[in-house]
Amino acid sequence: IWFHGKITREQAERLLYPPETGLFLVRESTNYPGDYTLCVSCDGKVEHYRIIYHDGKLSIDEEEYFDNLMQLVEHYTKDADGLCTRLIKPKLMEGTVAAQDEFSRSGWAMNRKDLKLIQTIGKGEFGDVMVGDYRGTKVAVKCIKHDATAQAFLAEASVMTQLRHTNLVQLLGVIVEERGSLFIVTEYMAKGSLVDYLRSRGRTVLGGECLLKFSLYVCEAMEYLEANNFVHRDLAARNVLVSDDNIAKVSDFGLTKEASSTQDTAKLPVKWTSPEALREKKFSTKSDVWSYGVLLWEIYSFGRVPYPRIPLKEVVPRVEKGYKMEAPDGCPAAVYDLMKQCWTLDPAGRPSFRLLREKLQHIRAKELHL
């Protein structure tokens, strides 16, 4: 919210006028592309501090290092720690207005008047997911009430504007309201999450051909993300949705970052996350492959929770010793073999999504010819 993107030094000084000690904002550095500048109003003038980006960490004094801007700003709001003053009051970006302009320019802004919200279908920690109607089309709408999370979701939305694949839930547009509420509008997936779909239908309804099809849909979406250097970070059957015509699509890019950034591991879903991502925050396409192996296990066990009968705190130590889940009942040996390859402890030893897709297509061709 205090992040103003590409503005000049002069613009920053104008924004911090009239001077008020502790009023601050962060902008992209004009002299050092890729770095940031913290601008703070102090005793009637504005100080500009370069934020240095080093080995994936941020620092002003090269003594304290932070994973992201949020952490850095939070630190200096508590303590001046060498700055001319502690950070007291963020200069709010006309924020959401600037974001609205950005989405308008790129053609993704929607008109709030054209969107009717009908009913809530899910509650997340950041806001509700609702069914809506946009000019006669049924849509899903993520409603985010305004605060720092809206900024994170603006990032999610801008990631989604860059991605288009039949097996990714498609972004339709974004509405940023003056008051700062944010609506992310996506295609509506009538049959809900894959995990609920599998649980409610079970093995009497869903045959092997159907499970293999779901496995392939997800794999194709992930192969596309892999080719575009995007890491999903939260791949699981609960984050795959099923359309009216039974097509599975990967959703929830809430954590999607361009490959190679770090994040807080406290909230990570332990049973789906690879050992290196849990231990060292190393997220990559290969950590997505690990999660995909767990997702395959979920598909073939009709939505059971992974690592049944193992207490959560024992999962990681056992996995790191090489423990792998057993094959779900009735799972073809060839598919179980793929799961085990995904669960190779050394990320470099795991197959790519491209290879996984080729192998699944091969398994499918054989099944169809039986």
Interatomic CA distance for residues 274 and 284, integer angstroms = 10
Count of CA atoms in the C-beta half-sphere (13 A) of 57: 9
Count of CA atoms in the C-beta half-sphere (13 A) of 107: 2
Q: End-to-end CA distance of the chain, in Å? A: 59
DSSP string, 237-286: GGGEEE-TTS-EEE---TT-EESS-----TT--GGGS-HHHHHH---SHH
Give the three-state DSSP class for 26: strand
Which candidate in 234, 245, 252, 288 is catalytic? Answer: 234
Do the beta carbons of residue 342 and residue 351 sit within 8 Å? yes
142 is in an annotated binding site: yes
Burial class from Cβ neighbours inside 10 Å (0-12, 13-18, 19+) for residue 22 reads: middle
Is position 337 annotated as part of the catalytic site? no
Amino acid letter at 165? H
Residue numbering of the annotated binding site for ATP: 142
Residues marked active site are found at 234
